[in-house]
Structure 1
């Protein structure tokens, strides 16, 4: 186990809880550091110290744990791959769903047993490194490298304009969901001069051509008439499905 994997960042303003957890984890070979809020946590994460996991409370004095999770995942470096266990005293299952969708790896409601947290931290430590998967999105034979802004279909690299890459990323990150033309225009920042349904249709056409996608029998981008477009979610075999 690498030294950084034994370091845990506890993001919670409950000093009594973090002291207790730090002591318990230390007894089991882990070194825990506490950050009482969002900005303190980001400062530690940006310091380059490196952590094996982040235990993140949903309710923080200077912000929202869900927003902090999103910010961590958007840092664009190895920090973005750090596993996150989200804590909350709320009973709303929507918080759990949103947290997982924003990139949390696990979820624990308060109160909890320290030994359960330890077991979950150990389970996360046994997972393969996630850095590549955090920065790369793979759907069937399409691979999108977010950091390098490169796209491969199979073994071949696809040359895209900046806007085409943004459009592909938005579609792929919502694979299986139908996105309206208005949503896509907002997401890729269309200029006023080309902010029309037709402009998005043209961009989709060029993107399909670059991917080698036949609009009559699409493997990747499906047209949903009257609404917008959907990136096919691959089935278990890796092929796109409807």
Structure 2
């Protein structure tokens, strides 16, 4: 099962420590900061699977961090749950309109928060719910290392398999060549960014056999995304 990466932005050290303990127990990989500006840098370095964001943090306010995360292509689709002592309806509406997916008012039960995070992730990251990944008519068995499209087996090389797996874990997300290099080849890879284009072409050729719609969208000056809507 894929391990979820969480970015926790919280300046209450006691609460942060408690949440880190609870989420690490649930096998989350947690990065923590108390500073809004640093949160943006951490998210830019490696896009998390989910952000727990306190409204009142050092540096940039949480509401502005949320706004900027939504504007950046690499984090536009990352789910954000805001943590706040502000319980007024106007504040809740403002937080949701800024782009938060959920809103949890302090004090709260850590167990309830874990459950709510799990519910959000199951909706947006099917990889975290089991070993089978599906999107449109593509199915991937990550344990048996098999891929099918419309029930038909699709032979893939190891690199194309890892590339497709990464796309299936983040459907709709746009990834630059550099981010794909980090995710699929690793941070220490000395492979050129152009190599990504070669493997994207190979992946397209493999999964688009039989005049199937091309599910991989090229985003000019940005990168690539797995996006069925682009074929509609």
Partner residue of 2:36? Answer: 38
**Structure 1 stretch displaced more, 67-76 or 31-40:** 31-40
Larger radius of gyration: 1
**Any gaps of 5 or more consecutive residues in structure 2?**
126-169, 175-216, 222-228
Calculate the TM-score normalised by the size of structure 2.
0.54
Given the superposition, is the C-alpha separation of residues 31 and 128 from structure 1 closer, same or farther in structure 2, using an over 3 Å criterion? closer
Given the superposition, is the C-alpha separation of residues 41 and 125 from structure 1 closer, same or farther in structure 2, using an over 3 Å criterion? same
Partner residue of 1:70? Answer: 67
Q: Displacement, 1:29?
A: 1.6
Q: Displacement, 1:2?
A: 2.8
**Helix, strand or coil: the match of 1:132?**
coil
Q: Displacement, 1:132?
A: 2.6
**Any gaps of 5 or more consecutive residues in structure 1?**
135-144, 158-242
Calculate the TM-score normalised by the size of structure 1.
0.52
Q: Displacement, 1:8?
A: 1.1
Partner residue of 1:2? Answer: 2
**Helix, strand or coil: the match of 2:76?**
helix
Q: How many residues of Structure 1 are paired with residues of Structure 2 in the alignment?
A: 139
**Helix, strand or coil: the match of 2:8?**
strand
Aligned Cα root-mean-square deviation (Å): 2.8
Superposed, 1:165-204 pairs within 5 Å as none
Superposed, 1:7-156 pairs within 5 Å as 7-48=5-46, 50-77=47-74, 79-128=75-124, 132=172
**Helix, strand or coil: the match of 2:87?**
coil
Q: After the TM superposition, which parts of structure 1 deviate over 4 Å for at least 4 consecutive aligned residues?
A: 154-157
**Quick check: 1:80–1:131 contact (8 Å CA) kept in 2?**
no
Compare the two structures and name the one with the higher strand fraction: 1
Find the aligned partners of 2:51 and 2:114 in 1 and give their Cα distance: 12
